[in-house]
Amino acid sequence: MELTHNRYQIDGMDVIELIAKYGTPVYIYETSRMKQQYEKMLHAFRDVHLKVHFACKALTNINVLKFFRKTGSGLDAVSIQEVQLGLEAGFDPKDIIFTPNCVSIDEIMEGAVLGVKINIDNISVLEQFGHMNGNNVPVGIRINPHIMAGGHDKISTGHIDSKFGISIYQMPHVHRIVETTGIRVEGLHMHTGSDILDVDVFLRGAEIMFDVAASFPDLEYVDFGSGFKVPYKPDDYFTDIEALGKDLTKRFKKFCREYGRDLTLVFEPGKFLVSEAGTFFARVNVIKQTLSTVFAGLNTGLNHFIRPMFYDAHHQIINVSNPKGRMRIYTVVGYICETDTFGWDRTISDIREGDYLAFLNAGAYCYTMASNYNSRLRPPEVLIHEGKDYLIRERESFDDLLKNQIMIDL
């Protein structure tokens, strides 16, 4: 979002005009930024055989999935429903990696029937899968490297107490299952968490991955998940993807020489690809001054935008209606009957009732985590693509709240 002649624009389109057309609250995404981020990945790892799989749990709108398919991206799915969405969007099953956790063998088998690549992160399920399929269906194995990564314990997934992955110390057990059942292991997977700041942490995980990979003779790929940090405020830290690409490429090529053949290097970015491509807009309902603060109360809440409450996430908030107003301090809150505070003591240009506020970095894990709490309706989604705006999800209606309820006589 850029300020031009005192008017905010998204990819050249006037923000206030978009709001007038679609109303608020509303999510707006721009494909040009998604493409830019995708191409950054390709450039950073240009010297290896790279495959990028968009982690669709970040943003599952089928039009976004179709866009990434056309860029050449694969898809990372964590539920059978995400797999089905990917197929609906036109992905070839072999370009979908299915990495669920804590699901039954039945859901794993659904993925196998659909022909997608499967990563298993549980010894019990691995053993069941092996007895049912032998070497007929190759699998990947998700390991837990026991590395604490990420800026928050809720988004770190590779530490010793995590539910994700099979411990690296359980690899002897894994090998016994592989040998007994004849499973063909075609890949290894690792995801240490989100918001990784230190490239060295990622490289430390890579060394563990390569040590484990050396004991599996039939690998086709190694999958490092993602976790790259994007900036959430001016001068914020972010993952230096070029530096990571340079260092990891060098180490990966060395591993491939030692392994005896070239493998595919796989990443599954979600936030990195779509976070900065999304902006969320809401209207100011009330300005409420108390003895200690000034609240700006919006026509939205944690039902639409839960990351600040769930992850303590910081999202920059901008008054797009009054960009040149005097800077003042506000606490921005929602209309839900909970403590749904978007930001305490934020310096924002003078806010008036009826103004529109923008939340940046709203492309990832925002709409996908929305709900109907307090019986509120979920907002629409709009896509800006090649200079045109498209409604890609309608605003919910009251009928949607009743759609799956069954009225009985009481």
> Can you give the chain as a three-state secondary structure string?
CEEECCEEEECCEEHHHHHHHHCCCEEEEEHHHHHHHHHHHHHHCCCCCEEEEEEHHHCCCHHHHHHHHHHCCEEEECCHHHHHHHHHCCCCHHHEEECCCCCCHHHHHHHHHHCCEEEECCHHHHHHHHHHHCCCCCEEEEEECCCCCCCCHHHECCCCCCCCCEEHHHHHHHHHHHHHHCCCEEEEECCCECCECCHHHHHHHHHHHHHHHCCCCCCCEEECCCCECCCCCCCCCCCCHHHHHHHHHHHHHHHHHHHCCCCEEEECCCHHHHHHHEEEEEEEEEEEECCCCEEEEECCCCCCCCHHHHCCCCCCEEECCCCCCCEEEEEEECCCCCCCEEEEEEEEECCCCCCEEEECCCCCCCHHHCCCHHHCCCCCEEEEECCEEEEEECCCCHHHHHCCCCCCCC
CATH number, domain containing residue 187: 3.20.20.10
Q: Say if 407 falls within a structural domain.
A: no
> Same domain for 42 and 188?
yes
Query: Which of 10-14, 68-72, 155-159, 220-224 shows the lowest mean pLDDT across its residues?
Result: 155-159
Give the pLDDT of residue 199: 77
Shared domain check, 319 and 191: no
The answer to whether position 208 is within a domain reads yes
Domain boundary among the residues 254, 274, 294 is at: 274
- Which are the catalytic amino acids? 337
Do the strands 74-77 and 2-4 form a parallel or antiparallel pair, or are they unpaired?
unpaired
- pLDDT the model gives residue 271: 95
Distances (CA, A) of 201 to 22, 108, 339: 43, 31, 35
| pLDDT tens by residue, 25-34 | 999 999 999 9
Asked if 198 and 293 sit in the same domain, the reply is no
Q: What percent of the chain has pLDDT over 70?
A: 95
Mean pLDDT of 228-253: 91
53 and 172 both lie in a single domain: yes
* Overall domain count for the chain: 2
Instruction: Report the CATH number at residue 334.
Output: 2.40.37.10
Residue 408 domain flag: no
Segments forming the whole domain that contains residue 126:
31-274
Residue 153 has pLDDT above 90, yes or no: no
Q: For the segment 168-194, what is each residue's pLDDT rounded down to a tens digit?
A: 999 999 999 999 999 999 999 998 765
Indicate whether 174 and 299 sit together in one domain: no
Indicate the residue among 274, 300, 335 that finishes a domain: 274
Q: Is residue 189 part of a domain?
A: yes
Residue 386 C-alpha from the chain's centroid: 23
Together in a domain, 170 and 230: yes
Clarify whether residues 225 and 365 are in a common domain: no
Residues 38 and 159 grouped into a single domain: yes
Within-domain flag for 260:
yes
Where among 223, 251, 274 does a domain terminate?
Answer: 274
Report yes or no on 318 lying in a domain: yes
Residues 39 and 161 in one domain: yes
